[in-house]
């Protein structure tokens, strides 16, 4: 069965500088290399899902500038449906200057531009496409009311929803309640909840989303109202952690759409993220399915 994934989210042109170490406030350091490439959490997730074998539709906004051209070319080269991408004449395509040090750690500044103009109307235009999906993924680099509306449209049609609450932001309970799966990292979880208990099951409300927290080199921790567990990740040589969370979310979405049980789906997501961090960049670093499956067979 081919997974059908709809991603409602962002595209940003990544402007990445590699350096020995990240600068302190007020300090100038020399960069070793500078590259540009397609990124943005939503776009990265769409590219990753397509490379994992899913049929993917992207719903978003880009400018009428050259970066917007790059976005369209990127998606079309991956076989992603761009019928619901709006070319915005008033707002520039989003950009993301990124710094990456020799340990693979990164700092990112995002200027979201056209992403923030993505509207409820844009989501409504894709309603029939969303209704046919197995899984809808949203993140927080677009207007938060649009995020909630996309989740609501999916729930109207009994489509499984993944809310990736990144970048970190406070969200109302009404939005969280529309997600079937909530996928924060540790920092994002602390932003969502004032007090994070050791037992994450205490955060899961009756009928609320399954919590799947990514934990870097530890892998991922999951919790439902009645159960919890930890799924270790795969050992790889880390080059660049940028985009790892996006790879994880795409892997989780595809695995769930294919009917894998939660622990198996998280293992597949972990392997997708692990392969991503072995190479530089964001969208270009997203792995092919054969690479993910090969990694899982090695360990």
Q: What pLDDT does residue 241 have?
A: 85
63-72, 206-215, 265-274: least confident range? 206-215
Question: How many residues belong to the chain?
Answer: 299
pLDDT digits (tens, 9 = 90+) for 28-44: 999 999 999 999 999 99
Place of tokens 């776009």: 43
Q: What pLDDT does residue 19 have?
A: 96
Residues with catalytic function: 246
Strand partners, 111: 95
d(CA 143, CA 212): 23
Average pLDDT over residues 15-29: 94
For 209, the token pair is: 């989303």
pTM as predicted: 0.92
Indicate the domain borders of the chain.
4-23+32-298
Average pLDDT over residues 145-169: 97
d(CA 48, CA 275): 11
d(CA 248, CA 255): 11
Peptide linkage before 290 cis (omega within 30 of 0): no
Average pLDDT over residues 166-183: 94
Which top CATH class is 4-23+32-298? Answer: alpha beta
Q: What pLDDT does residue 255 have?
A: 98
**Per-residue pLDDT at 197 exceeds 80:** no
**Per-residue pLDDT at 106 exceeds 90:** no
- Grade residue 299 by pLDDT with cuts at 50, 70 and 90: low
E strands in 25-177: 31-39, 55-63, 81-88, 94-100, 106-108, 135-138, 160-163
**Per-residue pLDDT at 125 exceeds 70:** yes
Contact 76, 43 (CB under 8 A): no
pLDDT digits (tens, 9 = 90+) for 204-246: 876 789 999 999 889 999 999 888 999 999 999 998 888 999 9
* Percent of the chain predicted with pLDDT > 90: 83
Segment holding 210, helix H or strand E: strand 210-214
The whole-angstrom distance between residue 114's C-alpha and the CA centroid of its chain comes to 18
């Amino acid at each position: 069965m081919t997974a059908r994934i709809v991603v409602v989210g962002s595209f940003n042109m990544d402007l990445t500088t590699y350096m020995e170490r990240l600068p302190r406030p007020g300090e100038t350091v020399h960069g070793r290399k500078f590259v540009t490439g397609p990124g943005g959490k939503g776009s990265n997730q769409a590219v990753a899902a397509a490379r994992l074998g899913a049929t993917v539709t992207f719903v978003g906004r880009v400018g009428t500038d050259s970066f917007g051209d790059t976005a369209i070319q990127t998606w079309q080269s991956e076989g992603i449906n761009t019928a619901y991408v709006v070319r915005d004449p008033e707002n520039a395509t989003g950009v993301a200057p990124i710094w990456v040090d020799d340990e693979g750690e990164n700092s990112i500044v995002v200027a979201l531009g056209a992403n923030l103009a993505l509207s409820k109307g844009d989501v409504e235009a894709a309603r029939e496409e969303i209704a046919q999906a197995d899984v809808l993924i949203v993140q927080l680099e677009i207007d938060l009311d649009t995020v909630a509306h996309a989740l609501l449209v999916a729930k109207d049609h009994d489509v499984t929803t993944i809310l990736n609450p990144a970048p970190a932001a406070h969200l109302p309970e009404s939005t969280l309640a529309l997600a079937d799966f909530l996928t924060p990292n540790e920092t994002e979880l602390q932003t969502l909840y004032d007090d994070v208990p050791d037992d994450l099951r205490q955060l899961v409300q009756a009928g609320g989303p399954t919590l799947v927290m990514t934990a870097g080199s530890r892998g991922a921790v999951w919790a439902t109202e009645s159960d919890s567990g930890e799924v270790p990740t795969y050992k790889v040589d880390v080059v660049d952690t940028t985009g790892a969370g996006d790879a994880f979310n795409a892997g989780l979405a595809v695995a769930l759409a294919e009917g894998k049980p939660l622990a198996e789906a998280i293992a597949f997501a972990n392997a997708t993220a692990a392969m991503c961090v072995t190479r530089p960049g964001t969208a270009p670093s997203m792995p092919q399915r054969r690479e993910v499956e090969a990694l899982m067979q090695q360990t």
